[in-house]
Amino acid sequence: MAREDRVKFAYLTYDDMITKLQNQELNQYDRIIVTDRNHAEYVISPELEAIPLSALEDDPTVPEWAKNATKPSYTPEEVGAVNANNELAFAAIDAMFDAVFGG
């Protein structure tokens, strides 16, 4: 069953939502519209925590590593970029631009 199939909507104040969480009255994947915080929408996680729906990423085309808080870093050489030791002078860049686009 997809997560969307288990979703229910409840309109609560933020404090009511927290109270219901503490009393275990909300279940995993319940979706709550909080009426006193600009209608912010929350979903209840498997750990029974309220997570703002805007913080969830459901796009299957985004790889998991891209969702991590820390991102990989690469050297200029690894990505084929010019590093500080091999900087091009503006005149050289200008000449390449003219060669490609006619100057």
**What tens-digit pLDDT sequence spans the chain (103 residues)?**
344 545 566 677 888 888 888 888 877 767 777 776 666 777 777 777 777 776 666 667 877 777 777 778 888 788 888 767 777 788 888 898 899 998 6
Specify the pLDDT at position 8: 60
CB-based contacts of 29-32 (< 8 A; 24+ apart in sequence): 29/3, 31/7
Q: Tell me the pTM.
A: 0.40
CA torsion 81→63→66→84, rounded to 10°? -10
Specify whether the CB–CB gap between 19 and 48 falls below 8 A. Answer: no
